[in-house]
A and B are shown apart, each in its own frame.
Chain A
């Protein structure tokens, strides 16, 4: 139970296409993250799964049953909303019990006076109280049960919202940016709580976010969306390492992947980037594009910089390697230093501020404005993209200076 299939789903709002023929499968028990910038269609996709919206075209299948036209309540999916959507006039206990009470609702409960019998069950029915208490205990909100949502902090409300989803024991949880209204510290804490909840219940989670840190740390698989189309699906490490195109490369990772125009010479085993030669050998799928123009993608941690002592560098294993650049900015993030450099040969029309390349620097600090050479580390992953389509061509392995000890 808990397998969700999206089959050729398209959703149009008037002239705009929010989702364009999306195919996707969330396997049972997996934590699937829908990631993308705002307006990419990730929330629309979640709402289509939940049944809060219906696709223009295509089908939604849950556990082999076509639920495309089914009402939200008939899908046995729980939704955690960004705004928490707690019922303001109900206590926390009733908020949690509400889905259970609605399951037992009969038409005659509408007769004045008889409905109260149903709502009394939130305290008297052992099944209801047990499930509510268990969920409250799991989320550490037991002492909040008799309070109203307005008296709770954002983090507490978020836990109540999770609890309300949990109480029903649904086949899958759908979460729409559940952490975006929390401050940074609470966000990290709640992230682990959601992960723990996923591990304890073993239920499928479909999780929408625009925050790549959440996507990387939480998802068993990540779906990157852009303009209603899936860009890439895969485990977070794979998407980080081998992005399917330039958009994914730039969207994931902080700092984003450095991308510049260059050439790949398979015979000479060299990538030329910003006028500098980076020694590489072909890895998977990279044999094809030899000798042609490419877009070269390099992560900050896959590069190294050394002082540039002149045009002809004779500095050990950095002989003649790398492109020349000047140091523009230092960014200390505690355990490491991020250095922004501007390649000397960078095309000046690329951006107003010029091209900025981020390098993770572990050596002695260099002064601002210093001339440096930047090259690849040995064993680094170098991604190649097609300059026209910006799609991934393949990857190379760097043969530059040896990695710093300890890395």
Chain B
């Protein structure tokens, strides 16, 4: 490119192609510019604004009256003895809902991968929880988990060894399992559909070759199925993790972060600080911590994904 440009003045006749090519670079930039501007507006501006807010003492009531407060918010946040519990609750919620959704989603995908009558219908029904609005889901489950009138308690007492009603959403030791269960119910169909697609992409002949090679069912799963779906599992894990960090409406409507902060994740705490306690600046600092956690999850994903690629390569 450089050579052609330098040569152009010397040659009198046709310097047209390099000129066009050089202009092409600018033209290309012009073409992507709208997308870049849009991304900057939609992604970068809120991010920078959130970062700026986290260094101010802005209050919700007077959002323009905040003044620069340095690292005060962060100092306060990291000095708060509740932070450890919040991070722990976030971790427990994230790990439990991601693992739960992946495991149940995989079981569902494996079942649907076996051909049977009504498979298409089941697959459609399965997408309903995923498609249903989170608020509606939460409201339905509030009733189902109600300690006195809920169908859950009634159904459980039909079991021979259960004769006590549980206060699912009000018992500090039961609230987290209940919230995770509702989350998994809502999220696992997404995992199931993605995993089903991955399962169906594994060539049937690989399973047959493994059968010929005397691999048992469990070995075929570990040596053929798992490697085949590993990239999808990894991607799903990243998505589900970040979604779990950010999940709000289900937890907020079911428990509001309680009882006794048992389900108080980072996101719930952010909302409480920003909109209940009206400390927008402090809430933004919490948001930045959440952002760092999401970035960490992405880093883990990319490192693992690269290692997978290096070890196995793509599926040939």
CB neighbours (8 Å) of A73 from chain B are 211-215
Q: How far is the CA of A50 from the CA of B314 in the complex (A)?
A: 29
B120 on the interface (CB 8 Å rule)? no
B223 on the interface (CB 8 Å rule)? yes
CB neighbours (8 Å) of A51 from chain B are 211
Question: Can you list 19 contacts pairing A with B, beta carbon distance less than 8 Å?
Answer: A52-B212, A71-B211, A72-B212, A77-B212, A79-B212, A81-B208, A81-B209, A83-B205, A87-B206, A87-B227, A88-B313, A89-B227, A90-B223, A98-B213, A98-B223, A105-B216, A110-B222, A148-B313, A148-B316
Sorted nearest first, the 8 A-B pairs with minimum C-beta distance are A73-B214, A150-B316, A89-B312, A85-B209, A89-B227, A85-B205, A99-B213, A72-B211
Q: How far is the CA of A81 from the CA of B203 in the complex (A)?
A: 12
Q: B208 near A148 (CB under 8 angstroms)? A: no
20 other A-B residue contacts (CB within 8 Å) besides A88-B314, A149-B316: A51-B211, A72-B208, A72-B211, A73-B212, A82-B205, A83-B205, A85-B203, A85-B206, A87-B209, A88-B228, A89-B311, A89-B312, A89-B313, A90-B223, A99-B213, A102-B219, A105-B215, A105-B219, A150-B313, A150-B315
User: Chain B: which residue is nearest A47 at the CB level?
Assistant: B208
Q: A103 near B212 (CB under 8 angstroms)? A: no
Q: Known contacts A73-B214, A99-B213; is A85 also within 8 Å of B312 by CB?
A: no
Q: A99 near B315 (CB under 8 angstroms)? A: no
A248 on the interface (CB 8 Å rule)? no
User: Chain A: which residue is nearest B308 at the CB level?
Assistant: A89
Q: Known contacts A81-B208, A105-B219; is A86 also within 8 Å of B214 by CB?
A: no
Q: How far is the CA of A83 from the CA of B207 in the complex (A)?
A: 12
Q: How far is the CA of A50 from the CA of B210 in the complex (A)?
A: 12
User: Chain A: which residue is nearest B312 at the CB level?
Assistant: A89
User: Chain B: which residue is nearest A79 at the CB level?
Assistant: B212
Query: What is the minimal beta-carbon distance from A208 to any residue of chain B, in angstroms?
Result: 14
B103 on the interface (CB 8 Å rule)? no
Q: How far is the CA of A81 from the CA of B218 in the complex (A)?
A: 22
Query: What is the minimal beta-carbon distance from A372 to any residue of chain B, in angstroms?
Result: 51
Q: In residues 133-157 of chain A, which contact B (Cβ within 8 Å)?
A: 148-151
CB neighbours (8 Å) of A149 from chain B are 316
Query: What is the minimal beta-carbon distance from B181 to any residue of chain A, in angstroms?
Result: 27
A252 on the interface (CB 8 Å rule)? no
A78 on the interface (CB 8 Å rule)? yes
Q: B224 near A87 (CB under 8 angstroms)? A: yes
Query: What is the minimal beta-carbon distance from B201 to any residue of chain A, in angstroms?
Result: 12
Q: B205 near A81 (CB under 8 angstroms)? A: yes
Q: How far is the CA of A42 from the CA of B223 in the complex (A)?
A: 29
Query: What is the minimal beta-carbon distance from B36 to any residue of chain A, in angstroms?
Result: 36
User: Chain A: which residue is nearest B311 at the CB level?
Assistant: A89
Q: A86 near B212 (CB under 8 angstroms)? A: no
Q: B215 near A102 (CB under 8 angstroms)? A: yes
Question: Chain A residues in contact with chain B, CB under 8 A?
Answer: 50-52, 71-73, 77-79, 81-83, 85-90, 98-99, 102-103, 105, 110, 148-151, 164, 168
Number of A-B contacts (CB under 8 A): 83
B214, B216, B228: the one contacting A99 at CB < 8 Å is B214
Q: A85 near B208 (CB under 8 angstroms)? A: yes
Q: In residues 66-103 of chain B, which contact A (Cβ within 8 Å)?
A: none
Q: B208 near A88 (CB under 8 angstroms)? A: no
Query: What is the minimal beta-carbon distance from B315 to any residue of chain A, in angstroms?
Result: 5
User: Chain B: which residue is nearest A147 at the CB level?
Assistant: B313
Q: Which of A71, A77, A86, A98 has the most CB of B within 10 A?
A: A98
Q: How far is the CA of A90 from the CA of B216 in the complex (A)?
A: 18
Q: A83 near B203 (CB under 8 angstroms)? A: yes
User: Chain B: which residue is nearest A50 at the CB level?
Assistant: B212
CB neighbours (8 Å) of B223 from chain A are 87, 90, 98
Query: What is the minimal beta-carbon distance from B37 to any residue of chain A, in angstroms?
Result: 40
Query: What is the minimal beta-carbon distance from A95 to any residue of chain B, in angstroms?
Result: 9
Query: What is the minimal beta-carbon distance from B20 to any residue of chain A, in angstroms?
Result: 40
CB neighbours (8 Å) of B315 from chain A are 88-89, 150
Q: Known contacts A81-B208, A83-B205, A105-B219; is A88 also within 8 Å of B213 by CB?
A: no
Q: How far is the CA of A380 from the CA of B223 in the complex (A)?
A: 58
Query: What is the minimal beta-carbon distance from B206 to any residue of chain A, in angstroms?
Result: 5
Q: Which of B203, B206, B208, B213 has the most CB of A within 10 A?
A: B213
Q: A102 near B214 (CB under 8 angstroms)? A: yes
Q: B312 near A148 (CB under 8 angstroms)? A: yes
Q: In residues 185-210 of chain B, which contact A (Cβ within 8 Å)?
A: 203, 205-206, 208-210
CB neighbours (8 Å) of A83 from chain B are 203, 205
Query: What is the minimal beta-carbon distance from B105 to any residue of chain A, in angstroms?
Result: 22
Q: A52 near B211 (CB under 8 angstroms)? A: yes
CB neighbours (8 Å) of B206 from chain A are 85, 87-88
CB neighbours (8 Å) of B213 from chain A are 73, 98-99, 102, 164, 168
Query: What is the minimal beta-carbon distance from A81 to any residue of chain B, in angstroms?
Result: 5
Q: How far is the CA of A73 from the CA of B211 in the complex (A)?
A: 6
Q: How far is the CA of A71 from the CA of B214 in the complex (A)?
A: 9
Q: B316 near A78 (CB under 8 angstroms)? A: no
CB neighbours (8 Å) of A148 from chain B are 312-313, 316
Query: What is the minimal beta-carbon distance from A7 to any residue of chain B, in angstroms?
Result: 22
User: Chain A: which residue is nearest B227 at the CB level?
Assistant: A89
Query: What is the minimal beta-carbon distance from B249 to any residue of chain A, in angstroms?
Result: 37
CB neighbours (8 Å) of B205 from chain A are 81-83, 85
